[in-house]
Amino acid sequence: MNTQIATAAEQQCTVADEINKNICSIKDSSKLNADEANSTAATVNSLGNLASTLQSVIQQFKFSGDSGLDFSAAKSAHLAWKARLRSFLDGLSSLSHEEAVSHHDCVLGKWYYSDGLDQYGDIPEMRSIEKPHQELHQLIKKIIEKKESGQSNEAEALYTKIAPLSSTIINLLEQVERSIDRDDKAA
């Protein structure tokens, strides 16, 4: 009987050692995954900042005969904002209220409320951009406020609304761009 107990205890010890090794392996893998996620988030933030800088440089060039807006840059800017917000919420970067300018003062807003509406206000999709664009900027400001006041869960909940608004704006911009292209080809 003692031999059976000793054998069972030895087997349990072996199993416990194996479980311990597996737990350590899982812990190491989890840490590696977390490190990779942080690295990816930092890269996304850096790319978002580079996209914003590139957009600013591109906006300095305006070609005659064009619509006055680089639609690709405008779409990229909205995607860059999403990345910047994610990085901000993850604590990898900062965002100020000044950076979250009004929907009138961003690159798209400046174009929209000047040349954009003047030239293309007859396109229904053009008029439809205003509401989601305004909502997007209000949402960005609310996210910053919530995060700064320590309400991270509320900020995260608001962040889930960014993608649908951004997609709506991008889709409307694409429709406006197609309409402009059709008109240019017909002319």
Mean per-residue pLDDT, 2-6: 76
For the chain, the domains span: 2-186
User: Going by C-beta distance under 8 Å and a sequence separation of 6 or more, which residues neighbour residue 93?
Assistant: 45, 49, 84, 87
Above 50 in pLDDT, residue 62?
Answer: no
Q: How far, rounded to the nearest angstrom, does the alpha carbon of residue 71 sit from its chain's CA centroid?
A: 18
Write down the pLDDT at residue 44: 67
| Rg of the Cα atoms in the chain | 26
**pLDDT tens string 124-152:** 999 999 999 999 999 999 999 999 999 99
Here the tokens at position 173 are 């911009």
Q: Determine what percent of the chain is predicted with pLDDT higher than 70.
A: 83
CA 153, CA 155: separation in Å to the nearest integer?
5
Here the tokens at position 148 are 């700064």
Write down the pLDDT at residue 54: 57
Above 60 in pLDDT, residue 59?
Answer: no
Above 50 in pLDDT, residue 61?
Answer: no
Average pLDDT, the chain: 81
User: Going by C-beta distance under 8 Å and a sequence separation of 6 or more, which residues neighbour residue 49?
Assistant: 80, 84, 93
Q: HEC states along the chain? A: CHHHHHHHHHHHHHHHHHHHHHHHHHHHHHHHHHHHHHHHHHHHHHHHHHHHHHHHHHHCCCCCCCCCCCHHHHHHHHHHHHHHHHHHHCCCCCCCCCCCCCCCCCHHHHHHHHHHHHHHCCCHHHHHCHHHHHHHHHHHHHHHHHHHCCCHHHHHHHHCCHHHHHHHHHHHHHHHHHHHHHHHHHC
**pLDDT tens string 69-126:** 677 777 777 778 788 889 899 988 888 877 777 888 887 888 888 888 888 899 999 9
Write down the pLDDT at residue 187: 64
Write down the pLDDT at residue 28: 76
